[in-house]
Structure 1
């Protein structure tokens, strides 16, 4: 950093200088896309929208902004996800609050939302709602629908309730603490879930951002990763309306196993939907009863 003559306090770096200095540091920390992450973290430190950062690059950082950027970079160097550092993640065109108590909403899950919105529904159930991103995205697009979101984590539900309030959906989203279908009454014409599905043997290979920072309760049920699908298959018929739809996010190698569980539960009209990368992502089924 340049030092002014006469021992004066050196000038603060411009945003552009701080951004350039951050790139090799993040690269050395093993960050896959240091330029993208540095821009998002700098915008967060400057309390501006990421798409406004370019306009702000010429100006010097304030001391508070520089300290905030340094803290954010340190956290990212520990492989904390950017969404947890900034506290939010974009999903289906909206911003969702994210904490260490919730899964980070991922673009792949938008495959499920797109399929949910491909046909009408009035009453929706989201099992393992987390941030509420699936439930709330669907309700926001269907103003006459209502929904119930279930989660076994009280901390995750607090985040989902905050997101519902921020999106103006608290009156249509009933968020409950629970274990799958326990204590749930009535039938729904759409049931969705992105349950924990990572097998125990797959956990060591996960990226540190996932393995070390996201809640294990939402990542993996242990064993072969299919426990949640077994629980859903066992209870779904009692809560899915005749002709109602079931949509389940799956791991890329789990389609056959999940299809077999649903076939044993009485489903016959089933499809496997790919995500944008062509990997199996969602199993869709319709209740024949």
Structure 2
């Protein structure tokens, strides 16, 4: 069918229809920022053709060159046969208006903390200029570290990851935003490489997938580094480690903000005396918690 498409499909409209049909036929999973076949196919084709991402209509009936058709069909085929998330095919992911380079060395950026940073964590932080030090644990592509640097212009940001491969991607993104003077990349296991440093704000979007869920993940998620997903039997191994050490790395009035996926009930059962504040996000109030330093267990 792909050989026929190369010879018989001529326009962007043709390729878009073909992609959506093949996506549905293949039963692809959509969970990396785009939740349906149509929107993903539109994004992939427009991005690859270097066309404005919000301007589909003027180009629908534009004819494609044979090289363009071959290139687009190659990407559609890879998306289907390899189950690659579209971000790995385009080497880009977006959090709001911020674009990040990504490849299979890092998880595809997706975090409710990004929404909270757009609002500078108001009302929990009343004056963003008073935040002068931020730590981003499990930084991956450095997306949250970069958002934090923009949200808190007076802050220096340490961005930590255990993976040297992830930090290579992070370094590229930090350079793209010209933030090398303010964002320091640190290779290490959580707080291990930070000495006695203390921070006004610690952010963490750690691995939080439990063992049962890891066994049933769609193939698209299995293309991502397992080290960025799995976190023990109940999904809380990394969160426990963060809670155990965070107090020693927070300023007296510092804040800890951690994303934990679908593990709110398990976390509250494990720490019944801890007064977690659950922050409202577009997904609800069960995914991100906040603690003041003196509330950290």
Q: TM-score range, shorter-chain basis?
A: 0.7 to 0.9
Give the 5 Å matches for 1:128-207: 128-185=138-195, 186-207=197-218
Other-structure match for 2:33: none
Other-structure match for 2:255: 245
Equivalenced residues, count? 277
- Out of 22, 25, 36, the residue aligned to residue 25 of structure 1 is 22
Question: 2:85 & 2:40 partners in 1: Cα distance?
Answer: 9
- Maintained 8 Å contact 1:140/1:169: no
Structure 1 position 52 matched with structure 2 position 55: yes
- Shift in Å, 1:58: 2.0
In structure 2, the CA distance between the partners of 1:229 and 1:259, relative to structure 1 (3 Å rule), is farther
Higher Cα Rg, which structure: 1
Question: 2:237 & 2:119 partners in 1: Cα distance?
Answer: 24
- Out of 84, 87, 90, the residue aligned to residue 88 of structure 2 is 84
Question: 1:262 & 1:35 partners in 2: Cα distance?
Answer: 44
**What are the superposed Cα offsets for residues 202-256 of structure 1, whole Å, 9 maximum, x if unpaired?**
112222211x211100101232221111211121111111010000001223355
- 1:176 aligns to what SS in structure 2? strand
Structure 1 position 100 matched with structure 2 position 70: no
Other-structure match for 1:232: 242
Other-structure match for 1:280: 286
Which deviates the most, 23-32 or 45-54?
Answer: 45-54
- Shift in Å, 1:258: 5.5
**What are the superposed Cα offsets for residues 85-137 of structure 1, whole Å, 9 maximum, x if unpaired?**
11111103211111111111125343453575321321000110011111111
- Maintained 8 Å contact 1:199/1:224: yes
- Out of 4, 13, 16, the residue aligned to residue 16 of structure 1 is 13
- Shift in Å, 1:27: 0.9
Question: 1:172 & 1:255 partners in 2: Cα distance?
Answer: 37
- Shift in Å, 1:63: 2.1
- Shift in Å, 1:140: 1.5
Question: 2:47 & 2:272 partners in 1: Cα distance?
Answer: 44
Other-structure match for 1:6: none
**What are the superposed Cα offsets for residues 32-80 of structure 1, whole Å, 9 maximum, x if unpaired?**
5221111111112212232233322222112221122111101211321
Other-structure match for 1:62: 65
Unaligned runs of 5+ in 2: 31-35
Question: 1:26 & 1:130 partners in 2: Cα distance?
Answer: 29
Q: TM-score, normalised by structure 2?
A: 0.85
- Maintained 8 Å contact 2:235/2:263: no
- Shift in Å, 1:201: 1.3
Q: TM-score, normalised by structure 1?
A: 0.87
